[in-house]
Amino acid sequence: MASPFDLTGRTAIVTGANTGLGQAIAVAMAQAGAGIVAVGRSSMAQTKALVAETGNPFHEITADLATLEPIVDIVEQADAAAKADGSRLDILVNNAGIIRRADAIDFTEADWDAVMDVNLKSTFFLTQGVAKRMLADGKGGKVINIASLLSFQGGIRIPSYTASKSGLAGLTRLLACEWAGKGINVNAIAPGYFVTNNTEALRADPARNEAILARIPAGHWGKPQEIGGAAVFLASDAAAYVHGVVLPVDGGWLAR
């Protein structure tokens, strides 16, 4: 009997797959059997090499999600790549995101717009484009948004990031309400404090680093590979009746 976590024969689009959490999720899904369409702004050579070790297909799309301009092309290229592999667009992981740090009193419109455009606007319209393909053949699919602890909490010095990730949690629930009956599962993962480029400034600040570690029951910053299992679960048949969930993967942060 096949494992309910098996993704063999499916194709997953993973945005921001060049590094960090996106790379870890792409590799975990490939290890579970999925072909990967990786979308990112910079070289994805390392991700490609790691996926190659699984023997599953890998396709790379270079695109900047700061605007909606590449959305149609991403969907068309991903769909063509999946079909070339004898598959379809089964899974979308919206991982690409940016952050800007400044006190709220000094925060600029440019930094507000830049974060909201990537983290929320482009995420919605890419999801819309992929969902149209998922609905076209009646086979549905899985959408996994990468939210944040800031979907639940306020944080400090990151107003647009908090707003975008809170919005993404709400969008996850709205899309689940609209699409659950049409065979598309829409869920989100809320990563805790992981070792990524986005948290480099925090880890470099001795006081902030110590304060954060003191609150994590697991006692360490998350390693990117520790998020892959949650993504595979939400992408798999094991999560067939899971809709509209924002799943924390945070070392117990929210439990404290």
pLDDT, tens digit (0-9, with 9 covering 90-100), for 153-193 = 999 999 999 999 999 999 999 999 999 999 999 999 999 99
Nearest to 151 by CA among 51, 248, 24, 253: 248
Q: Catalytic pick from 58, 124, 161, 233?
A: 161
Residue 115 lies in a domain: yes
Residue 231 lies in a domain: yes
Residue 1 lies in a domain: no
Amino acid at 120: L
- What are the DSSP E strand ranges found in 41-192? 58-62, 89-94, 141-146, 184-191
Residue 32 lies in a domain: yes
pLDDT of residue 106: 98
What CATH number is given to the structural domain containing 90? 3.40.50.720
Residue 108 lies in a domain: yes
Residue 28 has pLDDT above 90, yes or no: yes
Query: Mean pLDDT throughout 107-119?
Result: 98
Q: In this structure, how many other beta carbons lie within 10 angstroms of the beta carbon of residue 45?
A: 10
Task: Answer whether 0.85 is exceeded by the pTM.
Answer: yes
Residue 5 lies in a domain: no
Residue 36 lies in a domain: yes
Confidence of residue 2 (pLDDT cuts 50, 70, 90): confident
pLDDT of residue 198: 79
Range of the domain at 87: 11-248
Query: Mean pLDDT throughout 11-28?
Result: 97
Any catalytic annotation for residue 161? Answer: yes
How many domains is the chain partitioned into structurally?
1
Residue 1 has pLDDT above 80, yes or no: no
Residue 84 has pLDDT above 80, yes or no: yes
Share of the chain above pLDDT 90, in %: 97
Residue 2 lies in a domain: no
- Are 94 and 145 in contact by the 8 Å Cβ rule? The answer is yes
- Are 48 and 38 in contact by the 8 Å Cβ rule? The answer is yes
